[in-house]
Amino acid sequence: MNDIIKAINNRVSLRKYQEKEISKEHLDIILESAIKAPTAGNMMMYSIIKISDEKTKEKLSITCDNQPFIKKASVILIFLADMQKWCDYFKVCNIENIKPLGMNDFMLSINDSLIACQNAVLAAESLDIGSCYIGDIMENYEEHKTLLNLPDYTFPAAMITLGYYPENMKRVYRDRFDKEHVVFDEKYKKLDEDELKEMFKNKEENMPKTNPFNVNSFGELIYNRKTSADFSIEMDRSIKEGIKFFTKK
Amino acid sequence: MNDIIKAINNRVSLRKYQEKEISKEHLDIILESAIKAPTAGNMMMYSIIKISDEKTKEKLSITCDNQPFIKKASVILIFLADMQKWCDYFKVCNIENIKPLGMNDFMLSINDSLIACQNAVLAAESLDIGSCYIGDIMENYEEHKTLLNLPDYTFPAAMITLGYYPENMKRVYRDRFDKEHVVFDEKYKKLDEDELKEMFKNKEENMPKTNPFNVNSFGELIYNRKTSADFSIEMDRSIKEGIKFFTKK
């Protein structure tokens, strides 16, 4: 197993960090690794906001579904899908009556952002710096727009917290679905009832005994979380608001 | 520079491969590395379609904006945002009248797909296997749906071609924007005219002398490509069609 495969396998989503600032040298390596990521048409349709201000971290720990550990991270990186710079440059090139951008630009810039972000995650891992993705950055669109000064043609695609791994930490790995339920040959394969039961067997066996929805199966638990939990409803609303600028075409 | 940072820096988008099949051992490592990627709520809202059938590769080389090199890849991986398995499992759990899923599910599953895909890319790189992202898989939604047997609650988020690097290949690295134009401290920084000119200086200097739009600036070239080129118009349409199932909420 080479060092890259090792890093991929060793990583955990880290929510507890050493109380030690990430060195400038390490942070530069992480950011440069992000920038080296593949990008559609070499356009780099993203920006990275590097946050170490305590007030902003505190605020994000609240707006991102109340997760206090967020503010304890040494650094937070937000990867913004960003077509604003391009639009602004089109104006610099004297293009008049610029047409609205479309969902192609939105999705390519989202993809660019995530690809760059995962490079940052693995570069960090190689420096003993742990990370955690915070999908909740896609909630509260208007509040984040104000907080981070975001122009219209941007959308916060991904956020990661970064901090050194605690010394001698025992890493706990969460199970993944079996490859047979994730990887299909040549075409998509719709799983039948028996295969689905097999796929979710471990999840059912290990589901928490008490849960806010008072349901008995893992499927019902996730269904309720997806369709009734406040953060899910808010994320749906927030994304629809955020992509408005990209659906005017 | 450790091996991970080296791999990140050494990678190029590879469009020419050795005529040698990727070994089962290597492909397994790549797929397992993808599956190890971080995923929102540990839900793995994606599937991977592994394609080595010559006819399907040939077809994709046409539907993905006519790029003949695609069919020369040893293996193609398509990362599908996939909520279908979850919906099917909800039914297995006897949930009735399942509510439509929303944009939160769409975006989280897109993010999951891209994060897993970039793990695959870097794992491949560590095994001397090159890759190229094909954003055009987001075009021709209906055709890909039929070709790959895709159910409604899926969307092809990313596609990569894979093949061994040719021996003694000289890698040519494309320039990236300077960090100062990509990374911002604490808040988004809107770039002014001088900064934008500086950002795009190399692009302007190196832009092709002839181009299908007969324009003189790099800004105009990209603007035309984004707003008038067939593949851009098609990608916008195709994505809007594909997300319909996630906007019924």
- Closest residue in B to A118 (Cα–Cα): B115
pLDDT band at B249 (very low <50, low <70, confident <90, very high): confident
pLDDT band at A209 (very low <50, low <70, confident <90, very high): confident
- SS3 state at A60: helix
Alpha-carbon span A52 to A74, nearest angstrom:
7
For B41, the token pair is 């709520």
- Burial of B127-149, coded b for 16+ CB within 10 Å and e otherwise, reads bebbbbbbbbbbbbbeebbebbe
pLDDT band at B123 (very low <50, low <70, confident <90, very high): very high
Note whether A122 contacts B119, CB cutoff 8 Å: yes
Alpha-carbon span B89 to B94, nearest angstrom:
9
* Residues of chain A above pLDDT 70, percent: 100
Burial of A214 (C-beta count, 10 Å sphere; 0-12/13-18/19+): exposed
What is the interface size between A and B, counted as CB pairs within 8 Å? 321
If one compares B10 and A208, the residue with the highest pLDDT of the two is: B10
Least-confidence region, from A70-79, B33-42, B60-69, B206-215: B206-215
Digit-coded pLDDT (tens) for B63-121 = 999 999 999 999 999 999 999 999 999 999 999 999 999 999 999 999 999 999 999 99
The predicted complex's ipTM stands at: 0.98
What's the mean pLDDT when you consider all of chain A?
96
For A7, the token pair is 């890093």
CA-CA-CA-CA torsion sign (A39, A43, A46, A49): positive
Q: What per-residue confidence (pLDDT) applies to B248? A: 82
B49 touches A: beta carbon within 8 Å: yes
Angle at the Cα of B221 from the Cα atoms of B219 and B223, rounded to 5 degrees: 65
Average pLDDT over residues A204-210: 91
Strands (E), chain A: 46-51, 75-82, 129-133, 154-164, 183-185
Q: What per-residue confidence (pLDDT) applies to A249? A: 72
Q: What per-residue confidence (pLDDT) applies to A132? A: 98
Q: What per-residue confidence (pLDDT) applies to B81? A: 98
Spatial CB neighbours of A38, under 8 Å, sequence gap ≥ 6: A115, B11, B13, B121, B133
Q: Strands A183-185 and B46-51: what pairing?
A: parallel
Place of tokens 């997300």: B243
Tell me the β-bridge partners of A217: none
Q: What per-residue confidence (pLDDT) applies to B13? A: 97
Candidate from B121, B177, B218 with C-beta closest to A44: B177
Q: What per-residue confidence (pLDDT) applies to B182? A: 98
Candidate from B11, B218, B227 with C-beta closest to A99: B227
Domains and CATH numbers, chain A: 3-172 (3.40.109.10)
B212 touches A: beta carbon within 8 Å: no
For A126, the token pair is 């190689």
Residue B24 has pLDDT above 80, yes or no: yes
Residue B22 has pLDDT above 80, yes or no: yes
Strands (E), B151-201: 154-164, 183-185
Alpha-carbon span B123 to A119, nearest angstrom:
12
A101 touches B: beta carbon within 8 Å: yes
Alpha-carbon span A188 to A186, nearest angstrom:
7
Alpha-carbon span B85 to A199, nearest angstrom:
10
Digit-coded pLDDT (tens) for A41-78 = 999 999 999 999 999 999 999 999 999 999 999 999 99
pLDDT band at B209 (very low <50, low <70, confident <90, very high): confident
Alpha-carbon span B116 to A9, nearest angstrom:
12
What's the mean pLDDT when you consider all of chain B?
96
CA-CA-CA-CA torsion sign (B109, B110, B116, B120): positive
Q: What per-residue confidence (pLDDT) applies to A160? A: 98
If one compares A245 and A110, the residue with the highest pLDDT of the two is: A110
Strands (E), chain B: 46-51, 75-82, 129-133, 154-164, 183-185
Q: What per-residue confidence (pLDDT) applies to B20? A: 96
Of B1, B144, B4, which is closest to residue B60 (Cα–Cα)?
Answer: B144
Q: Which of residues 1-40 of B touch A (CB under 8 A)?
A: 2-5, 7-9, 11, 13, 29, 31-33, 35-38, 40
Digit-coded pLDDT (tens) for A154-204 = 999 999 999 999 999 999 999 999 999 999 999 999 999 999 999 999 999
- Burial of A89-127, coded b for 16+ CB within 10 Å and e otherwise, reads bbebbebeeeeebbbbbbbbbbbbbbbbbbbbbbbbbbb
Of A77, A99, A83, which is closest to residue A45 (Cα–Cα)?
Answer: A83
Q: Which of residues 151-180 of B touch A (CB under 8 A)?
A: 151, 154, 157-158, 174-177, 179
Q: What per-residue confidence (pLDDT) applies to A248? A: 82
A118 touches B: beta carbon within 8 Å: yes
